[in-house]
Chain A
Amino acid sequence: MKECVFIITENLHVTENVHRMTLSGDITEIKRPGQFVNIKIDGFFLRRPISVCDVSKNSLTLIYKVVGKGTEALSKMSEGAELSLLTGLGNGYNTSLSGDSPLIIGGGVGVPPLFLLAKKLTGEGKNVSVILGFNKKDEVFYEDEFKRLGCKVSVTTVDGSYGIKGFVTDALPKDYSYVYTCGPEPMLKAVYKNTVTSGQFSFEERMGCGFGACMGCSCRTITGYKRICKDGPVMKKEEILWEA
């Protein structure tokens, strides 16, 4: 983990409520896809944890949804503004377990961290399939970006206004070696139930610090208590314990 000042180089709408922000700064602490940064926003006490969508050289890309006042303030920030970030937080995805033909499943704003993962997996020469699930057509983003990495991409929408009508689990391929997923908890549960291989699931929780100090985001797992921010957010399928 490292605290660094980043400068906003771009902050644009991707869909109505989803924004993409690119920042320049020291990204050396970001070691794995699936990690996150924790952003200090003026006027808000707690930092906002946002997953890393992409990194290259000194550039960091974040895709975030406006869900409250903090992310709304973030969405209104202009190019050139400075932000304090804690970078390199969380464990991230381990690509060494993927096998030759991993399947990536993302839902809504769970999609962004999977982009850097897909980039890493395709870079390792793996045959990557991707399912992206959204509610409706105008919420769809990053289909082309995944395709450009060489992934086989399916999109599902709940209302059928784009791609396959239904949920991500309605688009599961026959063969895959491993599953990587991130999205809302009901989706994660459905993926857990309907996929046959091992995999890695990324979780969300309200966090205090984001770096393992406050125990605000703890969860129970088969292998004991874990902090989503520090021991997670990525959990292996075998260790997940769903709470009632």
Chain B
Amino acid sequence: MGSLNVELCGIKLDNPVIPASGCFGYGYEFAEYYDINCLGTFSFKGTTLEPRFGNPTPRIAECTSGLINSVGLQNPGVDKVISEELPKLIKCFNKPVMANVSGFSADEYRETVRRLDAEPQIGWFEVNISCPNVHGGGMSFGTNPASAAAVTKAVREVTKKPVIIKLTPNVTDITVVAKACADAGADGVSLINTLLGMRIDLKTKKPVIKNIMGGFSGPAVFPVALRMVWQVAHAVNIPVVGLGGIMSAEDVIEMMLAGASAVEIGTANLIDPLACKNIIEDLPRAMEKYGIKELKDIIGGAF
């Protein structure tokens, strides 16, 4: 059987499969269904400095081959994550975990990471820069190279752990933002976050989502994600984590061929709670089928 091992920013992973933030809670919810230690790691629920309820409901709209969500970063806030969620997480997961953080100002990102940094189980920080910048007119940090770099620098000041910046696809040229983050000290980038989308209910003739728009994800976005991973992997010299619509072992291989060092799987978990486990178990078969011995050897293999 071929090897599934990969490395992400200096930390070994048993396999490249990482449940994406927002689709896997703090892990223990899924530990009810399977032993989550089979995962490479997982990226926990986006955590902010203060507790957040998020956006009003309805927050979910179905689409062809995907869904729109406008959850809006519901989370109990960093202090409660440390005091209540991490102790539960540690009971069911014994590998380094990826801490996903969000904020509405560079200071807020810095402070959230500073408070989490002392937690020994955190292996990486994944910094979601798709949130609106309250000091920048509400534009997402991730749509502006300068503000993306500012967040990267702010976080970099308070941790020695690897910092992975999660990029938004809602930009003209994602490589410009990726390069700005790499130049500002990011150890890696992950992409893509969701694409902005909307649906209208024909019966009420109003938007389905209360917040009007939300993030579109699912298998429909896979080709867009793959293209962007390819572009970014050519543009930067730091590891790229590929995500967006991965549903199968074949998708994992394709994303790695496009230049991803590891992959995240989000939406698939919501329709099949066992999706990540099944994909990991299916990878050896898919590797054999395509003559792959070591998964790490195919990273950027399509270049």
Whether A218 pairs with B57 at a CB distance below 8 angstroms is yes
Contact B33 A47 (CB under 8 A): no
Look across to chain A and name the residue whose beta carbon is closest to the beta carbon of B46.
A215
Would you call A46 and B59 a contact (CB within 8 A)? no
Cβ-based interface call for A220 (8 A): yes
Task: Kindly count the residue-residue contacts between A and B in the assembled complex, taking CB atoms under 8 Å apart.
Answer: 86
A213 and B29 form a contact (CB under 8 A): yes
The one of A44, A86, A207, A212 in contact with B25, judged by C-beta atoms closer than 8 angstroms, is A212
Q: Is the CB of A215 within 8 A of B57?
A: no
Does any Cβ of A come within 8 Å of B81's Cβ? no
Residues B53 and A218 in contact, CB atoms below 8 Å apart: yes
Residue in chain A with minimal CB distance to B19: A213
CB distance from B283 to the nearest CB of A (A): 20
A209 CB–B CB distance under 8 Å? yes
Mark contacts of B1-44 with chain A using CB atoms, 8 A cut-off: 1 yes-contact digit, 0 otherwise. Answer: 00000000000000000000011110001101100000000000
B147-186 contacts to A (CB < 8 Å): none
- The answer, among A208, A212, A213, A220, for a CB contact under 8 Å with B60, is A208
For residue B74, give the distance in angstroms from its CB to the closest CB of chain A. Answer: 5
Instruction: Report the minimal beta-carbon distance from B273 to chain A, rounded to whole angstroms.
Output: 6
A210 to chain B, nearest CB (A): 8
Q: How many residues of chain A have a CB within 8 Å of chain B? A: 27
B99 at the interface (CB under 8 A from A): no
- Chain B's interface: helix, strand, loop or mixed, by majority? loop
Question: Closest Cβ of chain A: how far from B89's Cβ, in Å?
Answer: 14
Residues of B with C-beta under 8 A to A214: 22-23, 60, 69, 71, 270
B69 and A217 within 8 A (CB): no
Cβ contact within 8 Å between A225 and B270: no
Instruction: Decide: B271 and A3 in contact? CB cutoff 8 A.
Output: no
State A214–B71 Cα separation when bound (angstroms): 8
A86 CA to B274 CA in the complex, in Å?
Answer: 11
CB A84 to nearest CB in B, in angstroms, measures 8
Per the bound structure, the CA–CA distance linking A205 and B104 in Å amounts to 28
- Note all chain A residues with C-beta closer than 8 A to B83: none
Q: Are A212 and B29 in contact (CB under 8 A)?
A: yes
Closest B residue by C-beta to A38: B271
User: Which of the four size classes fits the interface of chain B?
Assistant: 20 to 34
- Contact A206:B59 (CB < 8 A) given known A213-B24, A215-B54: yes
- Shortest beta-carbon distance, B160 to chain A, in Å? 31
Q: Is B295 an interface residue (CB 8 A)?
A: no
- In angstroms, how far is the closest chain A Cβ from the Cβ of B127? 20
Give residues of chain A (198-224) contacting chain B, Cβ–Cβ below 8 Å: 205-209, 211-220
Task: A217 to B63: give the CA distance in the assembly, Å.
Answer: 17
A40 and B275 alpha carbons, distance in the complex (Å) = 14
Given A1-B32, A86-B273, A218-B74, residue A46 in contact with residue B57 (CB < 8 A): no
State the CA gap A153–B24 with chains docked (Å): 44
Q: Report B51-87 CB contacts with A as 1/0, cut-off 8 Å.
A: 0011011111111111101010010000000000000
Minimum C-beta distance from B83 to chain A (A): 15
The one of B24, B25, B45, B271 that contacts A46, using a Cβ cutoff of 8 Å? B271
Chain A contacts for B57, CB-based, 8 A: 205-206, 216-219
Q: B23, B29, B53, B59: which contacts A225 (Cβ < 8 A)? A: B53
Which single member of B30, B56, B66 contacts A213 (CB below 8 Å)? B30
**Which B residues lie at the A interface, using CB under 8 A?**
22-25, 29-30, 32-33, 45, 53-54, 56-67, 69, 71, 74, 208, 218, 269-274
Contact residues of A with B, CB < 8 Å? 1, 3, 40, 44-47, 70, 86, 205-209, 211-220, 225, 230, 243
CB pairs A–B below 8 angstroms (10 shown): A205-B57, A206-B58, A212-B29, A213-B270, A214-B270, A215-B71, A216-B59, A217-B57, A217-B60, A218-B57
